């Protein structure tokens, strides 16, 4: 699967603002888009680094990518 990037955004966005307070949200507001998801990928990459000592610079990181990097490190490569 591919992770969406800024290049997957449409050329034009037409926002629709509904001024109706959400009784369950703080100050009557509700989340906007998927902004909380922005921290997910770096957190996962950091967890993989903590577990393996190897930094990955592309997404998605598959299990086979981790296994290949670990094998390369054992064989004297940088991994």
Q: Return the active site residues.
A: 34
Whether residue 17 has a cis bond before it, omega within 30° of 0? no
DSSP conformation class of 7: G
Integer CA distances (angstroms), 4 to 32, 38, 49, 60, in order: 17, 11, 23, 11
């Amino acid at each position: 699967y591919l992770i969406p990037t800024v290049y997957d955004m449409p050329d034009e966005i037409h926002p629709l603002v509904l001024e109706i307070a959400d009784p369950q949200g703080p100050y009557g507001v509700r989340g906007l888009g998927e902004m909380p998801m922005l921290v997910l990928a770096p957190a996962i990459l950091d967890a993989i680094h903590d577990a393996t000592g190897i930094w990955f610079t592309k997404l998605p990181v598959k299990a086979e990518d981790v296994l290949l990097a670990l094998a390369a490190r054992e064989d004297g490569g940088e991994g």
